[in-house]
Amino acid sequence: MHTLTAAAVQMVSGTHPETNIDTMRRLVRQAAERGADWVLLPEYWPLMGARDTDKLAFAEPLGAGAFQTAMSEIARECNIVLFGGTVPLQSGEAGKVLNTLLVYGRDGAPIGAYDKMHLFGYSGLGERYAEADTIAAGAAVPRLSADGINVAAGVCYDVRFPEFFRAQQPFEVLLLPAAFTHTTGQAHWTLLLRARAVENQCYVVAAAQGGLHESGRRTFGHSMIIDPWGEVIDELPEGEGVVIAPLDAARLASVRTRLPALAHRLL
């Protein structure tokens, strides 16, 4: 791995895709102006609807549509690798979309994709979430790379399944777009992210939704970048903005050399 600078964009996406696209472009430009080579967007960045079914009307076919065009254009404009959070894509299954992370190279061309596999379900404290009602689960563990660096990817609820990331080894950087609820985020978000960094001895870049949305939903925020020793390098508690940090190849090598846990794995 060589050293590069990564950024995570935090948004408080609303119910109007055009406004969210404008916000995404503005924040990606901010990240690029600060020297980011890679930029990660949050889950559901184009739309946090008033109802879970709202996204069905905006689902795009793979390779076409306003969301994909906007991501391709901003990657090319800013000369970055863009990990595009998630957008709703047509699934072929009635009443359901794919919740898909798309990756774009510096020329704006697509270089990878991952359809979210683990679908969030929670009920309690007056809240209920059931992603499986409107999302079709992905079927393939991601195999992504950029700039010659192996990358693991997950989306939000995936972070609770350590074996999912073990299945993607070897990698040096783990990318996680999310829209964690405030309830579950307050309890587990930082704990889970730091654990994934420590056990995989990797950098973790996590981009979140962070605030009170037009829909009334409250997301936890706390987008962050974590080093392979589990230290949080940069963090944004709430509101829109950017976290940014170097992913230092020497730091990664030092951690893995001093405590060669990955080489000691038996299972």
Give DSSP secondary structure letters for 126-168: TEEEEGGGTBPPP-S---EEETTEEEEE--GGGGG-HHHHHTT
Whether residue 126 is predicted with pLDDT greater than 80 in this model: the reply is no
pLDDT confidence of residue 92: 87
**CA 102 remoteness from chain centre:** 10
**Structure confidence at residue 237 as a pLDDT band (50, 70, 90):** very high
Whether residue 69 is predicted with pLDDT greater than 70 in this model: the reply is yes
Out of 1-5, 92-96, 127-131, 201-205, the most confident range is 201-205
**Structure confidence at residue 129 as a pLDDT band (50, 70, 90):** confident
Spot the catalytic one: 55, 156, 172, 240. Answer: 156
What's the pTM value of the predicted model, to 2 decimals?
Answer: 0.95
Spot the catalytic one: 55, 60, 116, 131. Answer: 116
152-178 pLDDT, tens digit each:
999 999 999 999 999 999 999 999 999
- Residue 156 designated active-site: yes
Spot the catalytic one: 43, 60, 131, 172. Answer: 43
- Residue 116 designated active-site: yes
Whether residue 141 is predicted with pLDDT greater than 70 in this model: the reply is yes
Whether residue 138 is predicted with pLDDT greater than 70 in this model: the reply is yes
Q: Is the dihedral of CA 195, 117, 148, 27 positive or negative?
A: negative
Nearest to 51 by CA among 239, 220, 213: 213
pLDDT confidence of residue 194: 98
181-192 pLDDT, tens digit each:
999 999 999 999
Q: Is the dihedral of CA 134, 138, 142, 147 positive or negative?
A: negative
Residues in the chain: 267
